[in-house]
A and B are shown apart, each in its own frame.
Chain A
Amino acid sequence: MDYPIWNVAMGGGVLMAWVAITHVIVSHFAIGGGLIIVITETLAVRRSDPELRELARRSSLVLILVSTVFGAISGVGIWVVAGLISPGAIAALIHSYVWGWAIEWVFFVLEIVAALVYYTTWDTISKSAHLMVGWLYFIGAYLSLVIINGIVTFMLTPGEWLETHAFWDGFFNPTYWPSLVLRTGICILMAVAFLLWPAFKAGADRRPDVVRYLGWWFLAGVTVSYAGYRWWEAALPDTVTALFLGEAPTLAGLAATRSFTLWSLTVALAVSVLALLLAPKLARGLTAVVLMAAAFGFFGGYERLREGTRKPFLIHSHLFSNGLLVSQIDEINRTGIALHSGWVAAGDPGLENLGARIFAAQCSSCHTLDGYQSIRDALPTVADMELVAADDPPGTGEVHYRKQCSACHRDIEYQEMAGVLPTLEEIRDDPEIIRELNLGMITTTVIQLREMGVEITAFDRETTFDMRGLDRPSMPPFVGTEEEAEALAAYLASLDSAATGGER
């Protein structure tokens, strides 16, 4: 929160999502592809099967073009974007886990060199030497997963680490093994989804065999993924699973994501059994596209679930994704955010401008002005009030109320609210009242966010927090003095263009 702010109109989170999605798909493909290609080559040598050899060979071009460069660049991309949008949080993570990453780098070097050698030595070296290179590639690639999985799972379920802060407690955390199994399955799914394309190039007579061969791989991938997924869910703390499981999940959106995830896997299973195993002659480009979509759907759904349940933390129960440490809340509330960050302190001390800088420091890592998670949209405006009060044509008032107001007024029904609201004419006559009302609502909301921090500081810091009881479980608290809360509220209220004559 004390770093300068990078303003991205689309939202840093959206950019990160794009880079991360690309990276995880390509990197899992690079691992699973390595395994399938080298086993395929081994079988080809044993059975002297030229068609399998061709499959391995053609696939290795895709592997090198895509994974050694695209995978590597997108991996660097995650660093680049994370450093741009959550520098403080990433710095904290690196300070605890730099040796983990350093070790991962060693495996990465092995993986890349082996990939380059493997691809260029077809037809020029002995079969056994070539196979050895292929296996080294897979070992390097898989070991890098073994390492990074420790860090990624640590972020969601730090477990004992919260108490001991010991590297290996965090590394072998409660979801380490389930997640490793799950990701191993996903690696295979990603790989088959890509390898179907080179497989379709096989000679017409052998094509069904080759396709069926990949079908068995895919089936194995589905089975392993499903087992890993179930185990992963079971290993999550109850306070986390309650966010998306059960009768009344806290986050309905995540519950929907979960069923999407499992349905995707079901579709993948059905299509692969039908089109790859039972009737491989029928497999076409379209089959590959459907399988790819279903496999990506499953993978993407799982990743979204993992990120969604971790929100608003980068390291659960320890560090918020905007860089705020749980242990800092008290102090910053006392001394103020301006003392903490030179970028907030510097510049025009006017209330609204100070508020704008506080917003940038604390909120802009998740909220954009008008794009993703638009803050202007989330706040009440005079125009919103007019729409709700007018209720014209009848029924629209309630719709607007649900959309614009009920996030903060969950326990008040529309009818009740309509009773206390001024009429449209009254609002038009004196919009100032509404501006005052809105400023009051926003101020109270910010104060509530500040109080949420006080609640959080009372949690036991050595266990995983139960966020369900909080008003806004997906958000970090506001931290700062009461004057700073007012400044932030003043700025937020000024975002209503009607309030400033359309200046902003």
Chain B
Amino acid sequence: MNTDLIPALDAAGLPGPPWLFHGLLVFTFFLHLIFMNLTLGGTLMAFVANLRGGGRPADADSVFARRLMGVNTYAISLAITTGVAPLLFVQVLYQQYFYSGTILLGWIWFNLLVLLMIGYYAAYLHKRFRGPWLGVSAVAFFAIAMTHVAVHLIHVQPEKWAQFDLGALSVLRDPTYWPRLFHFVLAAVTFAALVAAWWAVRRARAGDDVALNTTIARSAWRWAIWATVLQMVDGFILLGVLPKPVLLGVMRGGLPVLGPLTVSILFGIGLLMMLARVSNPVEKPGLVSGTLAALTLTIAVMTVTRHQVRVLYLEPATSQFQATVVPQWGNFTLFAVLLAVGLGTVFWMVRRVLTSPAEGDEAA
């Protein structure tokens, strides 16, 4: 392939072996997806539920919407926080492609920041003033998803950069663009719905507002079912429209590539079966938790598949460059230790907070 437009590899070399960065990229991206799903899926569902609730605050739909947006206060912050790490690691591994992709998008990529700001503060305004703000927030987050899919498809196809240079929006005509976008959006909705269902079931089992929580659990469950049905269709379309060399790469990739893909497809089908078996989630709390766990696992495996597809897309380009490795093992170790200590501290803090309830004068 013609690699002329691809910038040179950085002369300083990789500060660790490539597998380490691949691993960190995939792992931190998975963390990001969890909170991104809650934010995007939650806001989209909240928007619809809020409309259905029609401004009656006691209506189950309104409560459902309020709950989703309550979670969002944290989910948005954490989505941003966890998004920083994969942004860092993708720059280490794929700087030549990633920066080029963002530059070809230019203002569209920059506007990601503006959209994030709008999405967050609109969610806040919605909580205080109602009005149209929830819709604004939902549109902003959806547009962010669109931007990410765009930059992804541009950065993995250097052979088309000259064409994107003439107009980056032509990426919307890439056959994989819309199926890919909806693949993420549907997954986000399913995940947020299952989390909401899980929570409602817990509260109903604890005897809290049983009728209301049962209604919410059911409605969230229906969201999850329909999103998964559409997801199955969309997933196969996406697989079908992948560029030939990439698809062939998947097929010939052997166990390391076909394994995760097959597992995640089977998980998807399994999920649908689990979802379909339940009509009243409150009666089957074990199955609800199991379904949520299975979905989380599916997302983890799919994150691996997604990364492998990127590797295959870029293979013709990356094979022309030989990265030197100048490992900084000491610094990596320091990072790993601090990560363990840091996460340990976070867990310890949350535990301490959960075990120190207080009221009145005793409280902070």
Residues from chain B with Cβ under 8 Å of A91 in the complex = 10, 91, 95-96, 99
Q: Which residues of B contact A340 (CB under 8 A)?
A: 8
Contact B334–A126 (Cβ < 8 Å) = no
Chain A: residues with Cβ within 8 Å of the partner, total of 74
Residue of B nearest to A72 (CB): B80
Q: Is the CB of A110 within 8 A of B345?
A: yes
| CA–CA, A112 and B35, complex, Å | 14
Is the beta-carbon distance between A342 and B6 smaller than 8 angstroms? yes
Residue of A nearest to B162 (CB): A346
B58 CB within 8 Å of chain A: no
CB distance from A122 to the nearest CB of B (A): 6
Nearest opposing residue in chain A for B116, CB measure: A73
Interface string of A304-344 (1 = CB under 8 A from B): 00000000000000000000010100000000000011110
In the complex, are the beta carbons of B81 and A109 less than 8 A apart? yes
Q: Are B120 and A102 in contact (CB under 8 A)?
A: no
Q: Report A97-112 residues with CB < 8 Å from chain B CB.
A: 98-103, 105-110, 112
For A84, give its contact among B11, B16, B106 (CB under 8 Å): B106
B11 to chain A, nearest CB (A): 7
Q: A3 near B356 (CB under 8 angstroms)?
A: no
A-contact bits for B98-110, CB 8 A (1 contact / 0 none) = 1110111011011
Please, how many angstroms separate the alpha-carbon atoms of A87 and B90 in the complex? 13
Q: Is the CB of A127 within 8 A of B362?
A: yes
Measured in the bound complex, the distance between the Cα atoms of B106 and A15 in whole Å is 12
Known: A87-B99, A117-B350, A342-B5. A107 touches B342 (CB 8 A): yes
The answer to whether B91 and A124 have CB atoms under 8 Å apart is no
Least CB distance from B70 to A in Å reads 10
Q: How many residues of B contact A (CB 8 A)?
A: 74
Tell me how far the C-beta of B121 lies from the nearest C-beta in chain A, rounded to whole angstroms.
8
Question: B353 near A99 (CB under 8 angstroms)?
Answer: no
In the complex, A253 has a CB within 8 A of chain B? no
Residue B206 at the A interface, CB < 8 A? no
B270 in contact (CB, < 8 A) = no
Distance (Å) between the CB of A332 and the closest chain B CB?
11
Q: Does B262 contact A (CB under 8 A)?
A: no
Q: Closest Cβ of chain A: how far from B156's Cβ, in Å?
A: 15
Select which of B85, B113, B362 is within 8 A of A77 by beta carbon. Answer: B113
A325 touches B103 (CB 8 A): no
Which residue of chain A lies nearest to B333 when distances are taken between CB atoms in the complex?
A99
Instruction: Given A72-B80, A167-B331, verify A4-B91 contact (CB < 8 Å).
Output: no
B11 touches A325 (CB 8 A): yes
Kindly supply a per-residue 1/0 record for chain B positions 71-91, scoring 1 wherever the CB is within 8 Å of any chain A CB and 0 otherwise.
001101110111111011101
B100 contacts across to A, CB distance below 8 A: 3-4, 87
Assess the B7–A127 pair: CB atoms within 8 A. Answer: no
Are A132 and B352 within 8 A (Cβ)? yes
In the complex, per-residue mask of A338-360: 1 if CB is within 8 Å of any chain B CB, else 0 = 00111101100000000000000
Considering only residues 73-127 of chain A, those with a C-beta below 8 Å from chain B are 73-77, 79-81, 83-84, 87-88, 90-92, 94-96, 98-103, 105-110, 112-114, 116-117, 121-127
A77, A84, A105, A123: the one within 8 Å of B103 (CB): A84
The reply to whether A116 and B342 contact each other, CB–CB distance below 8 Å, is no
* Cβ-based interface call for B230 (8 A): no
Bound complex: CA of A96 vs CA of B88, how far in Å? 13
Complex-state Cα separation, A351 to B99, whole angstroms? 28
A38 to chain B, nearest CB (A): 11
A232 → chain B closest CB, angstroms = 26
Question: B24 — which chain A residues lie within 8 A by C-beta?
Answer: 102
**Once bound together, how far apart are the Cα atoms of A72 and B99, in whole Å?**
20
Contact check, A113 vs B102: say whether CB atoms are below 8 A apart.
no
Contacts of A105 in B (CB 8 A): 84-85, 88
Residues of B314-340 contacting chain A, CB below 8 A: 328, 331-332, 334-335, 338-339
Q: Which chain B residues lie closer than 8 Å to A94 at the CB level?
A: 88, 91-92, 95
Contacts of A83 in B (CB 8 A): 91, 98-99, 102-103
Report the minimal beta-carbon distance from A379 to chain B, rounded to whole angstroms: 26
* B349 / chain A contacts, CB cutoff of 8 Å: 113-114, 117, 132-133, 136
Min C-beta distance of B98 to chain A, whole Å: 8
Known: A99-B328, A127-B358. A116 touches B92 (CB 8 A): no
* Known contacts A95-B15, A125-B357: A108-B81 contact under CB 8 Å: yes
B199 within 8 A of A: no
Could you tell me the distance between the alpha carbons of A136 and B342 in the complex, rounded to whole angstroms? 10
Interface string of A125-154 (1 = CB under 8 A from B): 111111111001000100000000000000
Within 8 A of A (CB), among B253-274: none
User: Which of B8, B104, B345, B364 lies in contact with A123, CB distance below 8 A?
Assistant: B364
Q: B338–A106 contact, CB under 8 A? A: yes
Q: A4-B5, A73-B113, A106-B335 are in contact. Are A41 and B77 (CB under 8 A)?
A: no
Chain A residues near B91 (CB-CB < 8 A): 79, 83, 90-91, 94
In contact, A95 and B331 (Cβ under 8 angstroms) = no
Decide: A99 and B335 in contact? CB cutoff 8 A.
Answer: yes
Quick check: A125 and B80 within 8 Å, CB to CB?
no
CB pair B12–A73 under 8 Å, yes or no, is no
Q: A96-B15, A116-B74, A125-B356 are in contact. Are A167 and B328 (CB under 8 A)?
A: yes
Task: Report if A408 contacts B (CB, 8 A).
Answer: no
Do the beta carbons of B113 and A80 come within 8 Å of each other? Answer: yes
Given contacts A4-B100, A87-B100, A88-B10, 6 further A-B contacts (CB under 8 A): A73-B116, A83-B91, A95-B13, A121-B353, A167-B331, A341-B7
- List 18 A–B pairs whose Cβ atoms lie within 8 Å, in order of A's numbering: A3-B100, A4-B100, A4-B104, A5-B103, A69-B76, A72-B84, A74-B113, A79-B88, A80-B112, A83-B103, A84-B99, A101-B88, A113-B78, A113-B81, A121-B353, A122-B364, A125-B363, A136-B349
Residues of A within 8 A of B (CB): 2-8, 15, 19, 41, 65, 68-70, 72-77, 79-81, 83-84, 87-88, 90-92, 94-96, 98-103, 105-110, 112-114, 116-117, 121-133, 136, 140, 167, 325, 327, 340-343, 345-346
